[in-house]
Amino acid sequence: MITEQEIQQFSEMGAVTIDTPLTQQQLTAASDAFDRLLPGPGEKPRYRVSTTCTFYDPELLDIIQHPFFEEVAKRVLRADEVRFFQTAVVTTYPAPNTPFSFDQHVDVQYCLSDLDATPRRMVCSYFLWIDDVTAQRAPLMYRPGSHRLIARERENRPELKGSAAHVEGVSLARLPQLDYADPIPVVARAGQTTVLTTAMVHGASINVDSTPRKAMVITFTAADIEIGLPQNQAETKRAYDRELKKRLRPERAHIVPA
């Protein structure tokens, strides 16, 4: 499922890529759902299209409620119980005649004492790769270990210590200038998932390949751990949770907060 060494890599580097038990049939069905849910490449002058907490396609709900993600999140977060937090589907189409480049930001910031607590007071994010992701095909770029450099800095600021973490995008330019490692790409095979924290400096990149790249994002927190969301996202999540609770299989509905 996930080894101690892989959990250590998640903790230190901020990301680790592991195999999942999903079948090619499940991935193909998910891929078709992406195409139904998201605008095609010609429909919008945007190469990266996504939607968050809006979909109930059975193929995608089967992935969200797959016990694998709950069990790995328990191990990674060192929690007896975990709860679903958010989900998104993202397709990045090839961008013709555009040089490779990438964004750099964090979505959330923690203190070291949050990251190293039991259970960890943080979000565990899965990027499930529906297609192979290569260095050319819009890999997620990230700076390994940068979440811990930021967390160490925050740990020493009394006004921040003990305050609940909240989701808020901050660009690299607005982050403290620390000795960050150089950015590297996440490459993976279809059906693998990268388990990561969006508290590390990371960002989407341009697809300079000829095939779209599809990723399903699923996030979990330890039960009873509060992570703040911007108001619009919090409202969307509450409505989605209510609906999801009704639509998941009865024996799996416990992953959704009450």
Nearer to Fe ion, 22 or 220 (CB): 220
Binds Fe ion (CB under 5 A): choice among 62, 81, 107, 153: 107
CA distance 102 to 99: 10
Comparing every residue's Cβ against Fe ion, the nearest one is 107
In angstroms, what is the minimal distance from the CB of 125 to Fe ion? 9
In angstroms, what is the minimal distance from the CB of 194 to Fe ion? 13
Binding region for Fe ion (CB under 5 A) out of 12-20, 91-99, 105-113, 160-168? 105-113
Which residues lie across from 109 on neighbouring strands?
Answer: none
Encode 120-129: b = buried (16+ Cβ within 10 Å), e = exposed. Answer: bbbbbbbbbb
Nearer to Fe ion, 198 or 207 (CB): 198
**6 touching Fe ion, by CB under 5 A:** no
Binding region for Fe ion (CB under 5 A) out of 116-124, 146-154, 160-168, 195-203? 195-203
- In the window 127-186, what residues touch Fe ion (CB under 5 A)? none
In angstroms, what is the minimal distance from the CB of 192 to Fe ion? 19
In angstroms, what is the minimal distance from the CB of 25 to Fe ion? 30
CA proximity to 237, closest of 223, 213, 216, 256:
256
CA distance 193 to 20: 7
Applying CB under 5 A, the residues found at the interface with Fe ion are: 107, 198
